[in-house]
Structure 1
């Protein structure tokens, strides 16, 4: 890359560095990503509704992620400015080939060419496979149905699971359900009209 192009990209990187620095200062002024200020709105969380605590935790984690993203960009900009001094700017860190200028125009702090960046992204786990490690230990309740086929969330009716737990091996349970109405107790057989007929005039 010639000197004029290097000077152009150096100025572009310096402008980008100033922009990112302003964002970081603004985040600090607004308390974004500051765990102490966001979580310390009250002296105690014991009286808070769980959703209020969850909202505050979500906002704190979102702020920390945004702040970390800006710091990552700032580090890449510093590395790119250093690579201009070392005459290695615009070279892919993985394969060593030149990064195309349209990519550098769009992302002046790009570290890899498009092909190598795609290869690196392919090695990252897919979102559906990037699950927390606790799930391996805890498992999913009611994962399999009585037929053994894997189904969705519950698989079996919860009542059936509880009923099966309450069964005793040495006792035959007997229910008198020969009444065609399916009533549990005889008092349930009384209709509204029969009840009204019993009331005094």
Structure 2
């Protein structure tokens, strides 16, 4: 049975629509016995460290030259890479914050993406992702509705697809949305949203 990695990034806890949507995705996949083990990574309970000069330097060192201090700096990045590497299915939830992904999710991606691990350069200078044959389910919650955004203002799904496709190697991304959450009490039918899952 397949292994799933479930990433949550909303600070709203039990009131979060994105968390509820991604939990519904995991539950549906589990009920259908498509996944067995689920690894939970809550980016609010365990926030990713932001990049700094020392950590970026370690990203570009050969593993054999890492010092004990360098290994300590890489501990979080190595841990989330192992989780990603071992997962067959990745379920990611994010609220929309100012048209983009949540800050913790961006920080997690910055820690995950590393040359030589998640991607490599080809001889012609193009990039090739190293983690293939995986599927991503993306759960987005937004206060407004996409139909009313100016053209070209969709930055979450396009960003996730670009990063995962270019820097990780995963091109199979299915997106599900809860919209209009800032317009008062929202009754969400998660089964209806996930009807095609």
- Give the greater-gyration-radius structure (CA): 1
Common fold: TM-score over 0.5: no
Identify the TM-score tier after normalising by the shorter chain.
Answer: under 0.3
More strand by share: 2
TM-score (norm 2): 0.24
More helix by share: 1
TM-score (norm 1): 0.24
